[in-house]
Structure 1
Amino acid sequence: MLQKPKKRTTLRVTLGKWFYTWKRYLEWIFSGKKYAKTQVTERLDHVIFSHQTPLYRKLKDVDMWLQHNKVKNLEIAIQTLNGLLLKPGETFSYWKRIGRTTKAKGYVPGMVLYYGKYTTGIGGGLCQLSNLIYWMTLHTPLQVTERYRHSYDVFPDSKRTQPFGSGATCSYNYIDLQFVNNTDKTFQLALWLEDGFLKGEWRANEPLLHTYEVYEKSHWISMEYWGGYARHNEIYRKKLNQHNVLVDDEFITENHAIMMYEPLLEESKESSGG
């Protein structure tokens, strides 16, 4: 059961952002984590997993200029991440690498989701990048240590190729995406824009002994006591050896999101059936 969304006052939201932003700054300084910072142009030899997502989607009531601006923002952001090495013992922090998105850096207004509605903000649209990185990371042995799910399901599924809830929302700098390399191998993140897609790869200096398959369980839609709809599921991951034999079936996370549209009756019945 999801609680009815609470509307916060502007003052409370402002003070909350200030507090958590500075808490994050202190963590970056005093946590003792070794954050990844080495970027190289040469690619490591072995592609571990690759994925791509379309840059332009026709979304209801969303102007296309926001999508074009999102692409500009992505172009800037990936410059800070493309070629980044994640060495053994190092931690990846999405916002520590990208930094604050400002006009001075060239960022432009893009779409930002705020309490289930869309608005505009400088650097908007970068959730597509955090979604891609999180999805690719789930297909590696890298350990996700911090990820925030989307609290709202804003748009109906349209040519969805990934399970609901398999992304990672972001907001500078306290809603972060972090993962650590606890292996003895060096990984490299490769990102680029090409042919209308945001494309990415995790590469490594050595091949891996296992592959991963990510899937969902227990997907259902519920009508909440306050009159809205909510969507739920669980994300799992299969670990397979070189002979494609199942080694492990691991629970990853659960998702609960308030739907900003009414589900079709047929979808509700199908989803509630598990």
Structure 2
Amino acid sequence: MTIETAARADDPSEAPVDIPPALRVRHRRLTERVPALYPLAVELLRLRRSWHWLRSGVCWATDRATDDLPVRIKQHKSLLLRTLGNSEMWMQHNKVRNLELAATRIDGILIKPGEEFSFCRLVGRASRRKGYLDGMLLDNGEAKAGPGGGICQLANLLHWMVLHSPLTVTERSEHSFDPFPDNGRVLPWGVGCAVYYNYVDLRFRNDTDATFQVRVHVGERYLEGEIRADRPVPYSYSVYARNEDFIEREGDWFRRNQIWRDVIDRRTGDRVRSELIKKNCALVKYVPDGVDEPSALNPDGHAPAIPEDHPPVIPEDQSLTQRLRHADAENPTVEL
């Protein structure tokens, strides 16, 4: 029996994703009304995160190894040059250079038992002084050029691989809007990451007895990555999207779905459990294809009703369940 047919109708985890109030009623923030305050707000958030780093007591992953650990847990690659809406291709070419710089700061990093990986701590602040070029940034719902733009592709790759491992995601922030229509999408929508030094981070922790290693490399056509370990792990993982749709509210379109993960026993091939990882909902900055088709609507021709708000249902008693929490700032500048 599939998950879909087994789920109860009153199961909150099966309810469509509600539109968050922050997206339904988009009041202008103070930094939007007074743009001169924006740099100050960013620096204050960075100071707060730096203070948290000093006082958190977290054992950060900093050691690295040049030789591969013996067991491959997950391998993935993503295309370097992509067409994103009407964006200029020179930003895609600059992105490749930015990814090369960022990848050298992460390649070979070991995550030992009890240690935590932080993308922002390892990569640091992307600046022109460090050689980063202007690539695509997402700022307040718009795409623009800025130093280090594009390195979130590396965070996306890492997050996808980590979801296929027993590592525990402790911080991950997503884009609050969907800027471009799908063009050759390989991964489910909603598994990407927003990163912006230093308060919008991707972090994951090793709660196992094994040591893991991150390998990343910019190849000729692809950004390539692996998660490796010093020993086999008992489970494999399958990550997929469910209940995806577009809905319209007061002239705005929203995209929503659920990200699920099946945990599979490597020895028997049996599914051990299915986990709801995340419920996604984002404002769409384009007109979705086929939105007027009946298949996108209810039989009465209306968009699906929004249910009462349900938080993501994540079983507390499952040690491999991902713990995803948002970063400090709402709608920050992020890198694509």
> Counterparts of 1:21 and 1:33 in 2: how far apart (Å)?
18
Alignment partner for residue 203 of structure 2, among 171, 175, 178?
178
Instruction: List gaps (5 residues or longer) in structure 2.
Output: 1-18, 299-303, 305-336
**1:198-218, CA deviations, whole angstroms, 9 ceiling, x for partnerless residues?**
010000000111000001122
**1:82-101, CA deviations, whole angstroms, 9 ceiling, x for partnerless residues?**
00000000001100000111
Q: Does 1:255 align with 2:280?
A: yes
Look up the match of 1:230: 254
Secondary structure at the residue paired with 1:176? coil
Look up the match of 1:67: 92
Q: Would the aligned equivalents of 1:110 and 1:121 in 2 still touch at CA under 8 Å?
A: yes
Q: Would the aligned equivalents of 2:244 and 2:256 in 1 still touch at CA under 8 Å?
A: yes
The structure in which a higher percent of residues are strand is 1
The amino acid that maps onto 1:235 is I
Q: Percent identity?
A: 38
Secondary structure at the residue paired with 2:78? strand
Look up the match of 1:112: 137
How far did 1:106 drift? 1.0
Compared CA separation, residues 43 and 270, structure 1 to 2 (3 A):
farther
**1:124-151, CA deviations, whole angstroms, 9 ceiling, x for partnerless residues?**
1111111111111100011101111111
> Counterparts of 1:269 and 1:192 in 2: how far apart (Å)?
44
The amino acid that maps onto 1:240 is I
How far did 1:220 drift? 1.6
Q: Would the aligned equivalents of 1:48 and 1:201 in 2 still touch at CA under 8 Å?
A: yes
How far did 1:108 drift? 1.1
Q: Does 1:26 align with 2:61?
A: no
Q: Would the aligned equivalents of 2:71 and 2:232 in 1 still touch at CA under 8 Å?
A: yes
Look up the match of 2:163: 138
The amino acid that maps onto 2:99 is L
Secondary structure at the residue paired with 1:191? strand
The amino acid that maps onto 1:3 is R
> Counterparts of 1:272 and 1:179 in 2: how far apart (Å)?
38
How far did 1:270 drift? 4.3
How far did 1:195 drift? 2.8
Secondary structure at the residue paired with 1:215? strand
Compared CA separation, residues 270 and 126, structure 1 to 2 (3 A):
farther
> Counterparts of 1:267 and 1:160 in 2: how far apart (Å)?
22
**1:59-84, CA deviations, whole angstroms, 9 ceiling, x for partnerless residues?**
23211111111000000000000000
> Counterparts of 2:152 and 2:141 in 1: how far apart (Å)?
14
Compared CA separation, residues 172 and 146, structure 1 to 2 (3 A):
same
Question: What stretches of structure 1 move > 4 A for 4+ residues in a row?
Answer: 266-274
Report the TM-score when normalising by structure 2: 0.78
Q: Does 1:158 align with 2:211?
A: no
How far did 1:114 drift? 1.1
Look up the match of 1:127: 152
**1:177-201, CA deviations, whole angstroms, 9 ceiling, x for partnerless residues?**
1111000000000000113100100
Compared CA separation, residues 35 and 194, structure 1 to 2 (3 A):
same
Q: Would the aligned equivalents of 2:74 and 2:226 in 1 still touch at CA under 8 Å?
A: yes
> Counterparts of 1:204 and 1:267 in 2: how far apart (Å)?
48
Alignment partner for residue 245 of structure 1, among 270, 273, 278?
270
**1:35-82, CA deviations, whole angstroms, 9 ceiling, x for partnerless residues?**
000111111011100111100012232111111110000000000000
Compared CA separation, residues 31 and 271, structure 1 to 2 (3 A):
farther
The number of equivalent residue pairs is 273
> Counterparts of 1:121 and 1:257 in 2: how far apart (Å)?
23
Compared CA separation, residues 6 and 128, structure 1 to 2 (3 A):
farther
Report the TM-score when normalising by structure 1: 0.95
Q: Rg: which structure is higher?
A: 2
Instruction: List gaps (5 residues or longer) in structure 1.
Output: none
> Counterparts of 1:152 and 1:33 in 2: how far apart (Å)?
31
Look up the match of 1:3: 24
Look up the match of 2:112: 87
Could you say which structure has the greater relative contact order, defined with CA pairs below 8 angstroms and 6 or more residues apart?
2
Q: How does 1:204-219 map to 2 (within 5 A)?
A: 204-219=229-244
Q: Would the aligned equivalents of 2:254 and 2:283 in 1 still touch at CA under 8 Å?
A: yes
Secondary structure at the residue paired with 2:166? coil
